[in-house]
Amino acid sequence: MRRMAAIIGCGAVQVGKYPDRLESELALDAVRMALLDAGIEKGQAEGIFTTPDLRGGIGLQANLLCEYLRITPKSMAEMTCGAVAAGLTVKTAVNEIMLGQIDVAVCYGAERECSIEWFKHFGSALFEPVALQPYASYGIIWAYAMSARRYMHETGAKEEHFAMAAVRNRRNARHSPVAAFKAPIAIEDVLESRNLCSPIKLLDSSASLDGAAAVVVASAEFARRVCPKPVYIMGWGQYHDNSCIIPTDRCDKSISSFVATREAAAAAFRVAGINPEDVDVAEVYAPFSPHELIIPEDIGWFEKGEMVKAIETGETEIGGKIPVNTDGGLLSRGHPWAVTPFYQTINVVRQLRGEAGENQVPDARIGLVHCEGGMMNNVFVLILGSE
């Protein structure tokens, strides 16, 4: 797969609240920006792949976009698979390109005020809600809190260490073109913020906000023709741990380290032909600050428990061993959950093009995007590289 396709254009609206705008209008903004950035005509987009319109629900939003923009794709789909869906749109685009079906695709997502409603109803699944008591609390903050507590128990991490990750993200968000939260915060602010599900507090959490983002994916041959700085797809890996949120089946799956991240990352490194230490910059999908410590360990940059020290010594800062979430992460960028992996991908592309400004990681050539669905149950890891 190495370097057979590339990302040649990106567009995103700032994450925030858009009460007066339609979801599809936000999508149009992102798609137009991405086409402009790629420097291609709309008619050259032969593939259109998008994440779900969670309110419409029947998968016709891409049709609407096509009529609105007068484009006639040869391949299109709306994909739903938790928050890995955005990653899967890129995967599908690359697969179609490698099969010779298309040369160029636009992958996009838009989200407005969806998450909160959706989480209220989460839990009516195939299983009886016997083991996970959704009637005990809305949403899944409590599940991530259980994971955080277990990680503290096994590694000696304190709430201060989680707070350090939130502070790092906020510092990075300051120079992000898309982040919603830029006001500086200190460790004490995080520790004193409102308790949600101990040990997770308000400033340890990502806010559900509106957003829209798009990337243009093209065959390597097309990319070299039109794009001065193509960012190549080097590989990906995906893995599902056969659980949904907290593993309830038997008692043998960890929630302080996640097998799906470990396996997906290992597969992605194998396909890309690189080692974890070859990665220069990374985006990890951590909806809560404790997972800013857990995920880099699972990807392989640190041994289990080493992130406790590493977050203190700045190993994941810009200039550190592996800069993570250099434009604020989910916590400070804001988290339109289905669209977030597009924002992650775009930040890595900006880094690899050398366009990240104040937050630029020097000589960044290889980047990694981690996204997940459930509580790290279904993980997709994408590896990108510049020339």
Partner 1 sequence: MSKVDFAWPASRHTPSGREFWAGLKKRKLLANKCQLCGEMFFPPRLCCPACLGDRLEWFELSGKGTLYSWTEVFFAGPEFKTPFLLGLVDLAEGVGRIASRIAGAEAGELKIGMPVRFTFVDAGEDFTIYCVTPDTG
Segment interacting with partner 1, rule: CB under 8 A, options 33-41, 95-103, 142-150, 218-226? 142-150
CB of 286 to partner 1, least distance (A): 17
State how beta strands 366-373 and 378-385 pair. antiparallel
- On whether the CB atoms of residues 374 and 125 are closer than 8 A, the answer is no
* Out of 129, 156, 184, 273, the residue judged to bind partner 1 by CB under 8 A: 129
Residue 55 within binding range of partner 1, rule CB under 8 A: no
Instruction: Kindly tell me which of 136 and 183 has the beta carbon lying closer to partner 1.
Output: 136
- On whether the CB atoms of residues 157 and 151 are closer than 8 A, the answer is yes
Segment interacting with partner 1, rule: CB under 8 A, options 60-68, 155-163, 195-203, 378-386? 195-203
- Token pair of 258, please? 């996640």
| Residue positions counted in the chain | 387
Quick note: the x/- pattern for partner 1 over 211-250, rule CB under 8 A, is: -----------------------------------xxxxx
Segment interacting with partner 1, rule: CB under 8 A, options 79-87, 109-117, 118-126, 331-339? 118-126
Residue 124 within binding range of partner 1, rule CB under 8 A: yes
Residue 255 within binding range of partner 1, rule CB under 8 A: yes
Name the residue with tokens 């396709």.
5
Q: What angle do CA 361, 353, 338 make, to 5 degrees?
A: 85
Q: What angle do CA 326, 331, 334 make, to 5 degrees?
A: 95
Residue 118 within binding range of partner 1, rule CB under 8 A: no
Residue 126 within binding range of partner 1, rule CB under 8 A: yes
CB of 59 to partner 1, least distance (A): 24
DSSP codes joined into one string, 325-387: -TT-HHHHH---TTTHHHHHHHHHHHHHHT--GGGPPTT--EEEEEEEETTTTEEEEEEEE--
Residue 191 within binding range of partner 1, rule CB under 8 A: no
- On whether the CB atoms of residues 237 and 271 are closer than 8 A, the answer is yes
Residues that bind partner 1 (CB under 8 A): 120-121, 123-138, 141-143, 145-147, 149-150, 153, 194-200, 246-251, 255
